[in-house]
Amino acid sequence: MDFSDSFEKIYDSVKNRSEHVEKSLTESMDSYGMNRQAKSESYGTSVVGAENFSVQERNFQLQQQIRPLFGKDGVNDTPIGTHPDFVSLEGTTETTYHYMCTLFVDIKGSTRLSLLYDLETVFLFKNAVISACVETVRSFDGYIHRIMGDAVLAFFGGKGKDKEDAIADAINCCVTLRAYLEESIKPFMTRNNLEAEHFGFRIGCDFGDDTEILWGNFGIESVGEVSATGLPVDMASKLQGLSSKNQTMLGQGLLNFIDWPDKYSSIKKIEKDGQEEALPLVVPNYTQKDGTPLNYKMRQLAYKKCMEFIALPSALKESITKTYIKDSKAIEFRCFVVDEGNSEEYISASRFLEKSKNLKFEVRASTTHALNFPLTVKLIKTNHGSDTPDEERDIEQPHSIQTLREQRRSKYNRSVLPYSSTSIDEGTQYRGLHTMRCEVLDKYQKLVYRNVIAVLIK
Per-residue pLDDT of the chain (458 residues; tens, 9 = 90+): 778 889 999 999 999 886 655 555 455 545 545 444 443 343 333 333 334 334 434 569 999 999 999 999 999 999 999 999 999 999 999 999 999 999 999 999 988 999 999 999 999 999 999 999 999 999 999 999 999 989 999 999 999 999 999 999 999 999 999 999 999 999 999 999 999 999 999 999 999 999 999 999 999 878 899 999 999 999 999 999 999 999 999 999 999 999 999 999 999 999 888 899 999 999 999 999 999 999 999 999 999 999 999 999 999 999 999 989 999 999 999 999 999 889 999 999 999 999 999 999 999 999 999 999 999 999 999 999 999 999 999 999 988 899 999 988 877 877 899 999 999 999 999 999 999 999 999 999 999 999 999 999 99
> Final residue of a domain: which of 250, 275, 306?
306
Residues 275 and 331 both lie in one domain = no
Instruction: State the first-to-last Cα distance of the chain, in angstroms, to the nearest integer.
Output: 30
Residues 80 and 124 both lie in one domain = yes
Residues 278 and 216 both lie in one domain = yes
Which structural domain, as residue segments, surrounds residue 272?
59-306
Instruction: Say if 390 falls within a structural domain.
Output: yes
Residues 6+ apart with CB under 8 A from 222: none
Single-letter code of the amino acid located at 84: P
Name residue 217's beta-bridge partners. Answer: 226
Instruction: Say if 13 falls within a structural domain.
Output: no
pLDDT score of 367: 96
Among 419, 384, 376, smallest CA distance to 400 is for 376
Residues 297 and 332 both lie in one domain = no
Name residue 447's beta-bridge partners. Answer: 441
Q: Give the CATH number of the domain where residue 181 resides.
A: 3.30.70.1230
Among 79, 72, 75, 32, smallest CA distance to 54 is for 79
Half-sphere exposure of 422 (CA within 13 A, CB side): 18
Residues 302 and 325 both lie in one domain = no
Instruction: Say if 340 falls within a structural domain.
Output: yes
Residues 6+ apart with CB under 8 A from 396: 380, 381, 382
User: What are the backbone angles phi and psi of residue 402, rounded to the nearest 5°?
Assistant: -125, 160
Residues 298 and 333 both lie in one domain = no
> Final residue of a domain: which of 276, 306, 336?
306
Per the CB < 8 A criterion, the answer to whether 301 and 179 are in contact is no
> Final residue of a domain: which of 265, 284, 306?
306
Can the peptide bond before residue 284 be classed as cis, meaning omega within 30 degrees of 0? yes
Residues 444 and 422 both lie in one domain = yes
C-alpha distances (whole Å) from 273 to each of 244, 267, 276, 278, 284 are 19, 19, 8, 13, 19
Instruction: Say if 313 falls within a structural domain.
Output: no
Residues 435 and 333 both lie in one domain = yes
pLDDT score of 369: 92
Residues 208 and 85 both lie in one domain = yes
Instruction: Say if 51 falls within a structural domain.
Output: no
Residues 293 and 272 both lie in one domain = yes
What is the sign of the dihedral through the CA atoms of 432, 156, 240 and 174?
positive
- To the nearest 10 degrees (0 to 180), the angle between helices 119-139 and 163-180 is 140
How many folded domains does the chain comprise? 2
Instruction: Say if 146 falls within a structural domain.
Output: yes
pLDDT score of 49: 39
Instruction: Say if 104 falls within a structural domain.
Output: yes
Residues 300 and 379 both lie in one domain = no
Instruction: Say if 450 falls within a structural domain.
Output: yes
Three-state SS at 197: coil
Q: Give the CATH number of the domain where residue 356 resides.
A: 2.60.40.2550
Residues 254 and 323 both lie in one domain = no
Among 230, 228, 234, smallest CA distance to 215 is for 228
pLDDT score of 368: 92
